[in-house]
Amino acid sequence: MKARAQDWTALLSHRELIHDLYVASYQRLVLQLYPVTGDLGEAQEVVQEAFVKLLAAPSQVSTLGNPEAWLRTAAVNLARTRRRRGKVLQRLLGRAGTRSTDVPGASPDHVALMAALLTLPTGQREAIALHYLADLPITEVADLLKVSAGTVKSRLSRGRTALSRLLRESAPDDKPERVFT
């Protein structure tokens, strides 16, 4: 009976750690996944699913070196799986889906940046979101996306070039500032 009480105490302790991690990381993870998914609601869902995965094995949280990095990786993988399934579904239905880029309270610059990001190829968009918005080093982005560091650098360079062109076109009267350095 005493062992069972210790198991419950340990389980509650792990769940409290996950709760604290949720409070500290949820919003940051959603903001990092938003450019990856292209949809705020979907970003929220994949981050929540990642937390559910962690809740399914609460004792795992204490063994993770960086639980937020684990959650980010899980959320990116979930977003990729959803994107693949969505493409299959769209093909089966024979029509393209629409995505909303509206975010309450977003500035016009933010909306323009998100619209431009959504036109980039997936690899470039993921690299830019993870490196510049999640502030991850190139090596960590490479590990997360399962590509080489050179591939990440190439995607970042091409993505910056494309974003510069797209943002320049969307604001012809203004001189665009450098978006990424």
139-156 average pLDDT score: 93
Model pTM score:
0.55
Q: Are residues 88 and 5 in the same domain?
A: yes
Q: Are residues 74 and 140 in the same domain?
A: no
Q: Are residues 70 and 154 in the same domain?
A: no
Q: Are residues 115 and 78 in the same domain?
A: no
User: When comparing pLDDT for 74 and 178, which is higher?
Assistant: 74
Q: Are residues 80 and 6 in the same domain?
A: yes
Average pLDDT over the chain reads: 79
User: When comparing pLDDT for 14 and 128, which is higher?
Assistant: 128
Residue 96: per-residue pLDDT: 45
Domain range enclosing 112 = 101-181
Q: What is the pLDDT of residues 48-81, one digit of tens each?
A: 999 988 888 767 776 778 889 999 999 999 998 8
2-19 average pLDDT score: 60
How many domains in the chain? 2
Q: Are residues 10 and 89 in the same domain?
A: yes
- Give the side-chain half-sphere CA count within 13 A for 57: 9
Which of the four pLDDT bands, split at 50, 70 and 90, describes residue 123? Answer: very high
CATH for 152: 1.10.10.10
End-of-domain residue from the set 50, 78, 99? 99
DSSP states along 98-154: ------TT--HHHHHHHHHHHHS-HHHHHHHIIIIIS---HHHHHHHHTS-HHHHHH
Q: How many Å apart are CA 63 and CA 71, to the nearest integer?
A: 13
Q: How many Å apart are CA 136 and CA 164, to the nearest integer?
A: 21
Q: Are residues 91 and 153 in the same domain?
A: no
Q: Are residues 14 and 79 in the same domain?
A: yes
